[in-house]
Structure 1
Amino acid sequence: MNGNWLIRARDGRLGVYVTHDDEVRCRSERGPGSDTWSPWRRIGGEQRLQPGLAVGQGVDDYAHLVSWRPTKAAEAGLVHSTHFRVHLAPLDWTPLGHPDRTGARTGLPAVAVDAEGRAHVFVRNRGNGVHALVQKERGGWNAWTDLKGSDVHEQLAAVTGESGRVELYATNPTGILRWAQEEAGAPPVPDDPLPVRVEPGTLSALPTSKEHVTLFFADPEGMLHAWRRGTEPVPLLAAAGPGPVALLRCTLEGHDCTLLAQRSASGRVAFAACPTEQESAGLWWTESGPQLPVGTEVALAEDADGRVVAATITPDGVLRIARQKDEPGLALAAWQEV
């Protein structure tokens, strides 16, 4: 999956999205802050899907989902759905087409939602560049736009900054590529690339101030870095495990902090935190919970009461939740299977 699959919806309920076989499933809290959850249910109608789900959420707290569906033999197309309330049915999947008009699946999509509530869909194209599709403010979609780029790896990281503008990050063999919106409703335009050694598939991005988005990535040796445009990447600590870290900006003991989480090499969930945009203060991993199988995904959110919530989903669909206790620091209650 791409994006944060654990979200807090408009009414305060937490919801999760997973892919299962050829469909997307969703669960939600029975009520805001509840310890009981609804059963898994298929969303978006009866449309069969291919692997790869992207989740984005706007300031209106609506969730935008993007995935691939099979079309003709050996061909596929992207589809989109909007979920207004996590405990209710979302809209059916709407076809978006293909960045190359026709062809097979080209990469894992990414989606971000701007300040006006428009979804921006990004995906690698057949030539290993990037295409974008922007939703119209009053419904429908604009035409696909070629953002260029070369030798782009599959994983893309799309994020909306506090300014309401959308940014996109990708990697290729020479470093990190960045695109950023210059005006509302327009596709992002390319920025100067960052020549840096980066492990593909490790990007995650978080708005950390009105001016900046912070990008986290690992290098080929497994060292985790933080980077903001106009600065040099800062090495942080060895990544706890493979893939991107889950991120959350939250308040801990009255301080604006950035929280990181990742399945560690031991199989447990590892947490690290630092003051936001002050990574030089130092980070270290603290492990929590049971050992989880390879392929388990980790996500972070805040619940309706402002408590940090961590979630894990195993490849066979077991969902576990750990919620912050009313104690100093990041003290989590015991992990619960829900």
Structure 2
Amino acid sequence: MPGRDARATSEVAPSIQAPSGIWLTHGKDGRLTLYVHSADGLRRWTQERAGGSGWTVADIATGGSLGHLTVVQDAHGYVHFVGRRERTSGSTPAVDIVYAIQYQTGRPITAWRSLGNPHKDAPGGHRIGVPDVVVSASGEVHIVLRNAGGGLMLRRERPDGTWRGWEDLKGARMEGDPVAVALASGTVEFFAAVEGGTLYWQQKEAGGDWHEAQPSRLAVLAGTTAALETAPGRATYYWTDPAGGVVGFRAGAWPMALGGAPGGGPHAAIRVAVDGYDCTVLAHQGADGTAAVGLGVTENEANGVWWSDTGVRCLGTPALALDGRGMMVMAVVGEDGEPRMARQTEGPGLTLDDWRTV
């Protein structure tokens, strides 16, 4: 069983707010970096050595001007940051999407660059959603968000590094925010929960346009979807069913009931080697406020996902990554606002060692 944190309590300190995100990235030198974004800004911890237990003292990577932030790492190890920024301008706050990048582990983040807003008017611009970002195999950055009308907007880099304008991929009545996934084939896909079902956009070819959105009547609790490439060129989407439990879905197949008792937030997903098998690990904040982990054989989840409650209370969705030894690391933000971490042990099955405050 995963280790338990004896300091966890059942009461949330009233001054602590849930973070807008927690992320783990794996640098080219094998070291992990932990990021936590909250109203105070983006805090960053860097592993002192690959696979080790020591971490640098937290530094503030950026201030608290970003209401929301998304972090993703590309195949070269670069870490990309996309934020939704609000600034007071008259009666309606001005909103724009901003972008920055970190090229090496522990190095400073570049200056933030504004990518504007797909809406020219302030009221429409204020109603845009939270962006998601992925980087294709060619290194092209893709940013997607829900527009004021509930459709999908895309902004992406050209191969020479310049940015295209905002592209309208249509769709309507989107609930929550879209999820993007970059596949080893070089293509990128988008998925969104909408009123009464879902929409799914599939790229025709690497670097090309997208097929018209494919609708379904699948029931999705908005704001809970995660995506993971589970076979070459194929993604699996995971979300919470409005009636409870986790669902797994691959385009062209029936949805799979995977069990679990998730809360209302999104899931984290990663592929991990367990006892010689390629497995998928899912993690979320459970309905009772503790972090839960699910384990199933990759692309064989329908035959069973085994869930375990870590007993560690957390704020928001956990983060998952593989460390320099190929072992899974799980990080959460505790109810005191401080990050805690546990690592996969070398024994049989998926077991986590003791939880430690970073």
Q: TM-score range by the shorter chain?
A: over 0.9
Residue by residue over 1:15-36, the C-alpha shift from the partner in whole angstroms, topping out at 9 and shown as x without a partner, is 1222232532222212211212
- 2-side partners of 1:124 and 1:197: how far apart? 19
Query: Could you say if the C-alpha distance between residues 121 and 302 of structure 1 is closer, same or farther in structure 2, counting changes exceeding 3 Å?
Result: same
- In terms of mean alpha carbon deviation, does 105-114 or 238-247 score higher? 238-247
Shift of residue 255, structure 1, vs aligned partner? 0.5
- Report the equivalent of 2:76: 60
Residue by residue over 1:99-125, the C-alpha shift from the partner in whole angstroms, topping out at 9 and shown as x without a partner, is 113432511110010011111001111
Q: In the alignment, which of 139, 143, 159 is matched to residue 121 of structure 1?
A: 143
- Report the equivalent of 1:29: 47
Query: Could you say if the C-alpha distance between residues 124 and 139 of structure 1 is closer, same or farther in structure 2, counting changes exceeding 3 Å?
Result: same
- Report the equivalent of 1:331: 351
- Count of aligned positions: 334
Query: Could you say if the C-alpha distance between residues 286 and 4 of structure 1 is closer, same or farther in structure 2, counting changes exceeding 3 Å?
Result: same
CA contact (8 A) 1:289 1:334 kept: no
Q: What is the one-letter code of the residue matched to 1:250?
A: V
Percentage of matched positions with identical amino acids: 34
Q: In the alignment, which of 195, 204, 207 is matched to residue 185 of structure 1?
A: 207
- In terms of mean alpha carbon deviation, does 160-169 or 200-209 score higher? 160-169
Shift of residue 289, structure 1, vs aligned partner? 4.3
* 1:50 pairs with 2:66: yes
Gapped regions of structure 2 (runs ≥ 5): 1-18
State the TM-score, normalizing by the size of structure 1: 0.93
SS in 2 for 1:197: coil
State the TM-score, normalizing by the size of structure 2: 0.88
The residue correspondences of 1:163-174 to structure 2 (distance < 5 A) are 163-174=185-196
SS in 2 for 1:297: coil
- 2-side partners of 1:317 and 1:291: how far apart? 11
Q: In the alignment, which of 288, 294, 319 is matched to residue 272 of structure 1?
A: 294
* 1:233 pairs with 2:249: no
Shift of residue 246, structure 1, vs aligned partner? 1.2
- Report the equivalent of 1:222: 244
- Report the equivalent of 2:86: 70
* 1:17 pairs with 2:35: yes
- 1-side partners of 2:149 and 2:202: how far apart? 21
Higher relative contact order (CA 8 A, sep 6+): 2
Query: Could you say if the C-alpha distance between residues 111 and 239 of structure 1 is closer, same or farther in structure 2, counting changes exceeding 3 Å?
Result: same
* RMSD, aligned CA: 2.0
* 1:94 pairs with 2:110: no
- In terms of mean alpha carbon deviation, does 135-144 or 97-106 score higher? 97-106
- 1-side partners of 2:40 and 2:170: how far apart? 31
* 1:195 pairs with 2:214: no
* 1:208 pairs with 2:224: no
CA contact (8 A) 2:157 2:164 kept: yes
